[in-house]
């Protein structure tokens, strides 16, 4: 059954030419592997680039940048009041000055600790206020969306889930964008190749 076999064993071709063909085959396999690896890397880079460009474009169109609200803290520094009367210590006060100095340092440390607690409490209140405002805005936005949905398509006997944090798990805009891009690609392809 010589019909189904390749005619690699040709005896009528001189040996020099057969050697030339063999070296050409080896060279071609090396170049083929190099091209295959290069093509694979280029495909991966292009796919990643298209993915990230598409994600960036989607976020610009949909406006879904989930940025956390920035909380700023205003520090109100209390100025220490100094006694306007400055007196020089006498002999007996010199002995007590070290004890008074330690007591003064302890009072300053307590005042700083109290000040730090007040600043932390103020920061916590600002944070809670910002979270409350964000939650209220989110709830108001969801309520408005639900009212728009309810007013545009009333369904008898249906109940709408009203939760504070209802996740959006459907395909939403992604499906519409996919369909639009697919249709646009089809139209461009048809017009471009219809002219040829």
- Taking CB atoms within 8 Å and a gap of at least 24, the contacts of 142-151 are 142/166
CA angle 188, 190, 196 (to 5 degrees): 110
Q: Residue-wise pLDDT tens for the chain (196 aa)?
A: 456 655 555 568 888 888 877 777 767 777 888 999 999 999 999 999 999 999 999 998 888 656 665 666 655 544 445 555 555 556 566 657 788 888 889 999 999 999 999 999 988 998 898 888 888 888 888 888 888 776 665 455 555 566 677 777 667 778 788 889 999 999 998 888 877 6
> Nearest-CA neighbor of 115 among 141, 85, 76, 150?
76
- Helices 173-194 and 15-62 meet at what angle, rounded to 10? 130
What DSSP line would sit under 132-159, residue for residue? HHHHHHHHHHHHHHHHHHHHHS--TT--
Taking a C-beta distance cutoff of 8 angstroms, is the pair 108, 137 a contact?
no
Q: What's the whole-model pTM score?
A: 0.27
Whose structure tokens read 């057969």? Answer: 18
Cα separation, 35 vs 153, in Å, equals 57
DSSP 8-state code for residue 44: H
What pLDDT is recorded for position 159?
56
What CA–CA distances, in Å, run from 112 to 8, 89, 103?
94, 27, 14
What pLDDT is recorded for position 178?
87
Cα separation, 77 vs 111, in Å, equals 12
């Amino acid at each position: 059954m010589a019909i189904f076999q390749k005619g690699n064993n040709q005896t009528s071709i001189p040996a020099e030419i057969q050697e030339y063909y063999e070296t050409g085959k080896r060279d071609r396999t090396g170049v083929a592997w190099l091209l295959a690896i290069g093509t694979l890397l280029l495909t991966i880079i292009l796919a990643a680039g298209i993915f990230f460009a598409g994600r960036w474009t989607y976020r610009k169109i949909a406006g879904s940048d989930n940025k956390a609200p920035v909380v700023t803290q205003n520090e109100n520094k209390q100025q220490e009041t100094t006694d306007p009367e400055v007196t020089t210590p006498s002999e007996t006060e010199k002995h007590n000055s070290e004890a008074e100095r330690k007591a003064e340092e302890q009072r300053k440390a307590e005042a700083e600790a109290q000040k730090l607690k007040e600043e932390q409490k103020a920061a916590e209140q600002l944070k809670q206020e910002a979270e409350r405002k964000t939650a209220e805005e989110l709830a108001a936005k969801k309520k408005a969306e639900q009212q728009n949905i309810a007013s545009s398509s009333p369904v008898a006997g249906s109940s709408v889930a009203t939760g504070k944090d209802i996740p959006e798990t459907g395909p939403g805009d992604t499906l519409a964008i996919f369909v639009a891009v697919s249709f646009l690609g089809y139209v461009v392809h048809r017009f471009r190749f219809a002219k040829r």
